[in-house]
Amino acid sequence: MGRLFGTDGVRGVANADLTAELALGLSVAAAHVLAEEEESGRSPVGQGRWPGDGRAFEGRRPVAVVGRDPRASGEFLEAAVVAGLASAGVDVLRVGVLPTPAVAYLTGALGADLGVMLSASHNPMPDNGIKFFARGGHKLADELEDRIEETYRGHASGEPWDRPTGVGVGRVRDYGQGLETYVDHLVGALPNRLDGLKVVVDAAHGAASRVSPEAFTRAGAEVITIGADPDGLNINDQCGSTHLAALRAAVVEHGAHLGVAHDGDADRCLAVDATGREVDGDHILAILALAMREAGTLRENTVVATVMSNLGFKLAMEREGIEMVQTAVGDRYVLESMKAKGYALGGEQSGHVIILDHATTGDGTLTGLMLAARVAATGRTLAELASVMEQLPQVLVNVPDVDKTRVGAEPELTRAVQDAERELGTTGRVLLRPSGTEPLVRVMVEAADIEHARAVAGRLADVVKSTLG
């Protein structure tokens, strides 16, 4: 039986892979593991007062913040998670539909013992997922996820839970101030206002449909909003950070200075400039790295990126005298590196950007605001700012329906990669990576010439299919 937790929580097709029973059981297990972890030093929120209204509750129970994106399946999964937590003696603050980084922020700001977010991020609507946050709003280390999974599997196989009764069961409250509290935090983090900017926001019919337009408006921008009418079924559907065509068209149509696009849970941000040209996570990192160095907040003069970052980003940072640290793919690994060394900025080409002074995880709305603030402060166009790096041609091919666990174990595939690397020499590179959230293998090839990159990527994708299919 494979590991339940992937690179970003537990994901699967809702009501098939990710059932109400699984959500409930994992929540009970998480309550036991994380409440144990935080038994000492619990804040006043966990000691008898509800945030917001000050009402007392019985005992010294742990507190959880629970949020979700607008997927229809999130409704029954939220009910299962809340039931599991309350049955384990955890008091629940239900914040409703909010971005993943909002749930992380509120978990820390309210002094809660854990947070739970129901979302499959950029995945299609039928999928859903469960992400847990530890005290302070931090993603869980592998060791904690393993303990939660071990606890869940142990009780699923027959070990009885220690169930509280009477006044020991958890209480559930709706926390309606979450959006206001989070937006105040976002706007307060900005170094300058956005007055005079026209910005298009594509919220992917997702969790940021209210938050992001509100934050940009309060910061002073004129906002045109698209993809902000979630109905539970249209999340990420031909919109948001995975489908930029609508954003490009809207920016050009409205004569906007820039556009920003989120994914379903708004932990990502991609952008387009005034001409509709994409500005990806590498460009955004480069722009923010220079802005933070100028402001004196780029600690250790270092930015953290992953092995998927374009070679052009690395060359740009070298030219600007900024150090670059590379990690495995996944914002959790970027964050681990940042926390270990005290770095302030890191992220991924996909648009996960972590600004550690203001967030504990990737925050798409915060990233978009900071990017717009740099445009406003410098008076330069986004295209001019993005020209700090020249992106080398990069081709990414997703090979679905293969056994991603066998990457690195098939000699024929290993030889094909080595042959490709010799062919590209010093002007390119190859990366094969199993997806952490989907049943596929990603083939990435960079080369000086786009046609060469496509040819190499196509050949490697065929070998992946034939050897792992």
- Identify the residue whose tokens are 């937590």: 85
- Residue 227, helix vs strand vs coil: coil
Residue after which a domain boundary falls, among 149, 176, 203 = 176
Work out the pLDDT band at 50, boundaries 50, 70, 90: very low
Domain hosting 430: range is 394-468
Work out the pLDDT band at 41, boundaries 50, 70, 90: very low
Q: State the burial class of residue 409 (Cβ atoms within 10 Å of its Cβ: 0-12, 13-18, 19+).
A: exposed
Query: Do 191 and 250 contact (CB within 8 A), yes or no?
Result: no
CB atoms within 10 A of CB 391: 17
- Catalytic site residues? 121
Query: Do 74 and 119 contact (CB within 8 A), yes or no?
Result: yes
What length does the chain have? 469
One domain, residues 231 and 377:
yes
Name which of 78, 73, 72 is nearest 103 in CA terms. Answer: 78
Mean pLDDT of 127-149: 94
Q: Taking 80 as the threshold, does the pLDDT of residue 436 lie above it?
A: no
The verdict on residue 5 lying in a domain is: no
One domain, residues 139 and 186:
no
pTM for the full model?
0.87
Q: Point out the annotated binding site for Mg(2+).
A: 121, 263, 265, 267
Q: Point out the annotated binding site.
A: 121, 263, 265, 267
pLDDT at 37: 63
pLDDT digits (tens, 9 = 90+) for 179-191: 999 999 999 999 9
Q: Taking 70 as the threshold, does the pLDDT of residue 261 lie above it?
A: yes
Residue after which a domain boundary falls, among 386, 403, 420 = 386
DSSP strand E in 372-458: where? 394-400, 429-434, 440-446
The verdict on residue 188 lying in a domain is: yes
One domain, residues 271 and 398:
no
Q: Taking 80 as the threshold, does the pLDDT of residue 38 lie above it?
A: no
Q: Taking 80 as the threshold, does the pLDDT of residue 351 lie above it?
A: yes
The verdict on residue 3 lying in a domain is: no
One domain, residues 83 and 227:
no
Q: What is the mean pLDDT of the chain?
A: 92
Residue after which a domain boundary falls, among 352, 386, 420 = 386
Q: Taking 60 as the threshold, does the pLDDT of residue 332 lie above it?
A: yes
- Structurally, the chain folds into a number of domains equal to 3
Q: Taking 60 as the threshold, does the pLDDT of residue 59 lie above it?
A: no
Mean pLDDT of 154-159: 79
Find all residues with CB under 8 Å of 205, minimum gap 6, and list them. Answer: 70, 227, 228, 229, 230, 231, 234, 235, 236, 237, 239, 240, 264
- More confident position, 160 or 60: 160
- State the Cα–Cα distance between residues 143 and 141, nearest whole angstrom: 5
- State the Cα–Cα distance between residues 111 and 52, nearest whole angstrom: 13
Work out the pLDDT band at 60, boundaries 50, 70, 90: low
- Check which CATH number belongs to the domain holding 28 and give it: 3.40.120.10
Mean pLDDT of 68-82: 98
pLDDT at 39: 53
Of 61-75, 136-150, 376-390, where does mean pLDDT reach its minimum? 136-150
pLDDT at 381: 98
Mean pLDDT of 434-455: 88
